[in-house]
Amino acid sequence: MKKMAFALACLCTSFLGAGSAFAGLQLGGTRLIYPAHQKSVTITVLNQGGGLPYLIQPRVLRGLNGPGGAPFVVTPQLFRLESDGESAVRVVKLPANLPSDRESLFWLSVLAIPAGDTPPDAKMDNATLSKISGKGVIGLGQKIKLIYRPDGLPGLSASGGKLKVSRSSQGVKLENPTPFIISLASLDVGGHAILTKRLTVESTTLLPFSSEDIPFSGLTWPADIKWQTINDGGGLESWKGGRS
């Protein structure tokens, strides 16, 4: 069975989620869904309560920690966002042969650097960004999932409930038999919380048609199994499994 890339769902809590923010910077969602039939998708970037303007540089990454080179372009590529302001970021897919039988996972990264004394009418280009960065200013950012969804995939609403949880030689085996990405928020096996801080994750991402083993000792089988998944809107959905 194909081994999945078992991605950490966050670098730290400030990097993900609507409402998660630094110095008032927020994104208008916890994930961005890109249906294949759409020409583009947008998300709002908000600067609320920080009292500082920022230079914002959004881009799409292939992996959580890079590199770039993903088949998407983001506009505007660099812009100034005033305090208490907001702006829409537009993501457009470039020609690329992405799988048509399953979702593909990318990451939208939004880098923010305090604009300092940069004039509001300054030209927003890489030269401006380099000038500010050259002063030793540290940029911070948020990353959310960008999920490319081919048209015609069946069973989205029930996909989280199709997760298969069973025993493995290491502890727990997870299998995603669906064409959709499953984002786990919690997993309980026989009263044991499997997704603990010991794994340094708050949620886990199972790619389509993939599996993963999670080390966990002390489990007794068969066991009652419960889990929660995160839907397109960032909400939680609860599921129950058999006594595997």
Q: Give pLDDT, residue 99.
A: 97
What amino acid occupies position 187?
L
- What's the CA gap between 86 and 161, in Å, rounded? 37
What amino acid occupies position 180?
F
What the block records as the tokens of 40 is: 């583009």
- What's the CA gap between 237 and 179, in Å, rounded? 18
Rounded to the nearest angstrom, the gap between the alpha carbon of residue 234 and the centroid of all alpha carbons in its chain is: 10
**CATH hierarchy code of domain 7-149:** 2.60.40.10
What amino acid occupies position 198?
R
> Mean of the pLDDT values across residues 183-191?
92
Q: Using an 8 Å Cβ cutoff, are 55 and 79 in contact?
A: yes
> Mean of the pLDDT values across residues 48-55?
80
CATH superfamily of 159-241: Immunoglobulins (2.60.40.10)
Between 8 and 208, whose confidence is greater?
208
Kindly tell me if the per-residue pLDDT of 17 is higher than 50.
Answer: no
**Residue ranges with strand state E in the chain:** 7-8, 25-27, 31-35, 41-47, 54-61, 72-75, 79-81, 85-93, 104-114, 140-149, 164-167, 171-176, 182-189, 192-193, 204-206, 210-215, 225-230, 236-241
Q: Using an 8 Å Cβ cutoff, are 71 and 94 in contact?
A: yes
> Mean of the pLDDT values across residues 106-125?
74
Mean pLDDT of the chain: 81
> What residues does CATH 2.60.40.10 cover in the chain?
7-149, 159-241
Confidence of residue 112 (pLDDT cuts 50, 70, 90): confident
> Mean of the pLDDT values across residues 45-73?
86
